[in-house]
């Protein structure tokens, strides 16, 4: 089969899921349920933060942005996968693949950046409590989110434009259930050396940078917490970080699994599980982690739930 340029590509095939009818029926129901729970759970977090004045703080501002990004991140891959299962098709168009790859990179990297910003927020809250509201002003919080969106959007656009310069075979088989940058670049029929250089340099910069920021923030938090004399004070300081630490651990462990399995050129059970954990399970669990371990969120959700009944009782 001869290589072709990108204008002659007929189709990409997503091979990440089983073609057996019994398994597909179960997979469709499972992923549809997980997707709906993910969207509903994260929407509840956004509504709770928006409607409850007690949660109008930097910490919950970043959390609501994280929930919005998680909804978008899951929506980038799961609806197309569900459509393919329903139509018994593995096809995604060239344009659709490039678009999905762009938004997948955008929201995955935004997740990473926001987790780093949230770690910095916890550092300021614990180590500089008296200056917290001065340092984490609404203007700074807005700028941090805006700059993150602009930088990541441009970074994802760079990768997408570089992929557009590659040539592919007329039929490209992707061993995932979505189009992911590393996989698409490796399957190019033309020289992808420059793409690989930019891709791995970006991974170190955009992945390692936020991770280093998280490690630095928590090293400062541990240092400050150790100086607190009372056990109750230490517990209170650490308890504000538990939810964030759980989300960070889940995000980076699953991201590492996807990265380690990205070199595979064939469909494998382990790479599929890693992809599912990263794209579906992590956004699904985030609302539960933050709501179950956070009294403020639980209180806001309770007030939001009982608000209609209270209104009905007011004459």
Q: Are 7 and 169 contacting, i.e. CB atoms less than 8 angstroms apart?
A: no
Integer-rounded Cα Rg, in Å, for the chain is 22
Please choose, from the candidates 310, 221, 296, 227, the residue with its C-alpha nearest in 3D space to the C-alpha of residue 63.
296
CA 238 to chain centre: 24
Model pTM?
A: 0.88
CA angle in degrees (0–180, nearest 5) for 263-267-272: 85
Rounded distance, CA 237 to CA 125, Å?
9
Position 315 scores a pLDDT of: 40
Position 269 scores a pLDDT of: 61
Beta pairing partners, 14: 174
Cβ within 8 Å of residue 306, ≥6 positions away: none
CA distances (Å), origin 180, targets 144, 174, 197: 27, 9, 17
Q: 88 in the Ramachandran plot: left (φ > 0), alpha (ψ -120 to 50) or beta?
A: left
Please choose, from the candidates 251, 234, 241, the residue with its C-alpha nearest in 3D space to the C-alpha of residue 218.
241
Position 262 scores a pLDDT of: 60
Return per-residue pLDDT of the chain as tens, 315 residues. 444 455 456 578 988 776 776 778 888 999 999 999 999 999 989 988 888 888 889 999 999 999 999 999 999 999 999 998 888 888 999 999 999 999 999 999 999 999 999 999 999 999 998 999 999 999 999 999 999 999 999 999 999 999 999 988 888 888 888 998 988 998 998 899 999 999 989 888 888 899 999 999 999 998 988 887 777 777 777 777 888 888 888 888 887 777 666 655 444 566 677 778 788 888 998 888 887 667 777 777 777 665 554 344 434
Cβ within 8 Å of residue 196, ≥6 positions away: 185
């Amino acid at each position: 089969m001869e290589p072709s340029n990108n204008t002659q590509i007929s189709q990409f095939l997503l091979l990440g899921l089983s073609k057996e009818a019994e398994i597909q029926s179960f997979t469709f129901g499972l992923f549809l349920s997980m997707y709906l729970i993910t969207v509903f759970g994260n929407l509840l977090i956004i509504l709770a933060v928006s409607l409850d004045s007690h949660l109008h703080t930097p910490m919950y501002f970043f959390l609501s942005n994280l929930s919005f990004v998680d909804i978008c991140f899951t929506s980038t891959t799961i609806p197309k996968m569900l459509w393919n299962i329903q139509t018994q098709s593995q096809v995604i168009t060239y344009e659709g693949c490039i678009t999905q790859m762009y938004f997948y990179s955008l929201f995955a990297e935004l997740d990473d950046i926001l987790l780093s910003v949230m770690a910095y927020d916890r550092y300021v809250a614990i180590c500089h409590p008296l200056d917290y509201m001065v340092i984490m002003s609404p203007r700074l919080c807005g700028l941090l989110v805006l700059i993150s969106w602009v930088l990541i959007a441009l970074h994802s656009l760079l990768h997408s434009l570089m992929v557009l310069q590659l040539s592919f075979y007329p039929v490209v088989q992707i061993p995932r259930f979505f189009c992911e940058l590393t996989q698409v670049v490796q399957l190019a029929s033309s020289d992808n050396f420059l793409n690989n250089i930019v891709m791995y340099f970006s991974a170190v910069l955009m992945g390692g940078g936020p991770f280093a920021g998280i490690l630095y923030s928590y090293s400062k938090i541990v240092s400050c917490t150790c100086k607190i004399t009372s056990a109750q004070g230490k517990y209170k300081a650490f308890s504000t970080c538990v939810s964030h630490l759980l989300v960070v651990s889940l995000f980076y462990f699953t991201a590492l699994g996807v990265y380690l399995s990205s070199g595979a050129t064939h469909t494998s059970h382990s790479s599929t599980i890693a992809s599912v954990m990263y794209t579906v399970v992590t956004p699904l669990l985030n609302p539960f982690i933050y709501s179950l371990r956070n009294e403020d969120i639980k209180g806001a959700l309770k007030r939001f739930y009982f608000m209609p009944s209270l209104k009905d009782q007011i004459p």
